[in-house]
Amino acid sequence: MKLADQNILFIARAPMHGGTEKVVLQLCEIFKPLVNKIVVCAGNGFDQDALKKVGIKFYEIPDLADKNPKVVLNIASKLKHVVKQENITVIHTHHRMAAFYVTLLGLYKKCVFINTSHNTFHDKVKFTHFSYKYAHLIACGEMVKKNLADTFGLKDITVIHNAVEPFKGPVVEEPTLKELHERDYQLIGNVGRLSEQKGFEYFIDAMPSILGKYPQTKFIIIGAGELEHKLKQQAKNVGVWDAIVWLGFRKDVQNLMSQLDLVVLSSLWEGLPLTPIEAFSVGVPVVGTAVDGTPEEIQDGYNGYLAKPKDSEDLAEKVITAIDQNAKISMKGAVKKTYDEEFSFDVLQRKYISFYENI
């Protein structure tokens, strides 16, 4: 494929500042200087300001997950219009329903069709196979590739790991975190949408055991979401309310992570999560649950520790081990090496450009 001649359409669900949104924005940055045009279709909530800054056109569509017949017809009509209006030559989807529309409408016959899968899932087998069967498939990790092959019978899948850009700094100190460090507190962070997937309830349940061993610990929760009220009530019930700092949704995640001693990822499922990569990019080790693609990033005892999912006791033990070992200092070299060699933005850029050129 000759990149300079291409008009690319990225289609994603409204991610509410999720990992998929970051990947789409990264791809926009990578391909903007190389192709003729980039257009993004996504639901309300996508970071349109980021697209405007680099001159990328945005079309808002209804939520891809909405199966209401009127909504389905609306989305189908809008996508057909965008492809025709913008003379699209490449469609790159980032959601199963987005791929479904491309297949259903036969848009793959007119355009090169690419799909990146960001998570593992096991439902709707025939539907998924139908949606992806004409796409050039990318998986964000080896477990996502295995899932696509084993569960849905798909072939010719290329793995391209997620990545984050290096933190360019300088560090802007968060006053609360600075004060706590000055008072000799260990700062343990957990970053993500306050949703079922991220397993914050197990993180909160692990806190009493951690505090029992290291009372000079504060837990920093960075994120917002539908479970916020429930999780705050749980923190009060468990008796750890005073040990938690709730920072809400923040865009300066790497800046905040650089001020933490340890990052925890308590997810119940993932594709290849960005949180460990973001932490590694600023030299911070991670305790993460051993689900899906997370063990592709965290090597137990090397750049962090792996815990059992849905097991607060094991999560607490691994966090205590990390504190015991002074992981931020002892694992610093391993963390940096992991980021530089496997999950840097340069690696992502090189692999995606090569993938496109070889189609």
The predicted-structure confidence for 93-129, as pLDDT tens digits, reads as follows 999 999 999 999 999 999 999 999 998 889 999 999 9
Place of tokens 């959601």: 95
Say yes or no to pLDDT of 145 above 70.
yes
Q: At 116, phi and psi to the nearest 5? A: -105, 125
Question: How high is the pLDDT of residue 147?
Answer: 95
Question: How high is the pLDDT of residue 15?
Answer: 61
> Is residue 173 within 8 Å of residue 283, measured between CB atoms?
no
For residues 216-223, average pLDDT: 98
Q: Is the pTM of this model over 0.85?
A: no
Two structure tokens written together for 271: 């594709």
For residues 250-269, average pLDDT: 96
Question: How high is the pLDDT of residue 169?
Answer: 81
Say yes or no to pLDDT of 271 above 90.
no
Sorted by where each starts, the structural domains of the chain and their CATH numbers stand as 3-163+344-357 (3.40.50.2000), 175-342 (3.40.50.2000)
Q: Is 18 helix (H, G, I), strand (E, B) or coil?
A: coil
Question: How high is the pLDDT of residue 291?
Answer: 94
Question: How high is the pLDDT of residue 40?
Answer: 98
90 or 162: which leads in pLDDT: 90
Q: Is 113 helix (H, G, I), strand (E, B) or coil?
A: strand
Q: Which residues pair with 307 in a beta bridge?
A: 289
Q: State how beta strands 262-265 and 286-289 pair.
A: parallel
